[in-house]
Amino acid sequence: MSLASPPDDPAELVDFPARTVPADYPYSRIHHDRHEAEWFCDKGDCRFDPPPGTGFGTCYLSGHPLGAFIEKFGRLQVIPRSLVDQHSLASLRLASPVRVADATDRTILGRWHLSAELWAGDDYEGSQRWAHRLHQAGFAGIWYSAAHDVHGGLHSLALFGKPGHQPDALLRYSDEPIPQALIDETAATFGLEVLPSTAL
């Protein structure tokens, strides 16, 4: 299913639902060890990455470590331990409060013809067009539900910023290997198990 297109004029999004995210809220991020935690992607591989050549990047944060884990690995039917071991779990806070587009507000259905497809559907290009237009409209990011949490209790934040490593955009409190306790909690809560890697 294709998403409804955003308006051509970003000014038409002035009334898009918004919320202010405080600076003291603790966020979690699971990131590959080849990138720093404060990495803003502009490659177009992830849902709210910018379209090519638009000059900003997106850093994906979760309101709970469980959300970070399922958003990183939830699409996989088999999660090998070797893949998990290539990633780290960071605890981060925003450098300052930010005003973001609230994609969980129910009024976006009638006013903007959007649904959960925005953050959980297959139309990545459509989601990226919305990210671009919301960035142009002055929003600092997008607040949305974790796509892989069917209960809907976990939220995520796609934060906009300059591409690449931006250490001043976020305050890092910890960055460590993914703990076994989180792997066990994910298995108990979501039925997702990390399997031992098999030797070749």
- The whole-angstrom separation of Cα 16 and Cα 80 is 40
Contacts 24+ apart (CB under 8 A), 109-114: 111/15, 112/4, 112/16, 113/4, 114/3, 114/4
pLDDT band (50, 70, 90) for residue 1: low
Q: Is the pLDDT of residue 200 over 90?
A: no
pLDDT at site 195:
93
pLDDT at site 92:
96
Mean pLDDT in residue range 58-85: 95
pLDDT at site 112:
95
First to last CA, the chain: 40
Q: Is the pLDDT of residue 53 over 80?
A: yes
pLDDT band (50, 70, 90) for residue 62: very high
Q: Is the pLDDT of residue 127 over 80?
A: yes
pLDDT at site 51:
86
CA 99 to chain centroid, in Å, comes to 16
Task: Report if pTM > 0.75.
Answer: yes
**DSSP assigned state of 144:** E
Angle, alpha carbons 28-180-69 (nearest 5°): 35
Q: Of 4-8, 97-101, 160-164, 195-199, where does mean pLDDT reach its minimum?
A: 195-199
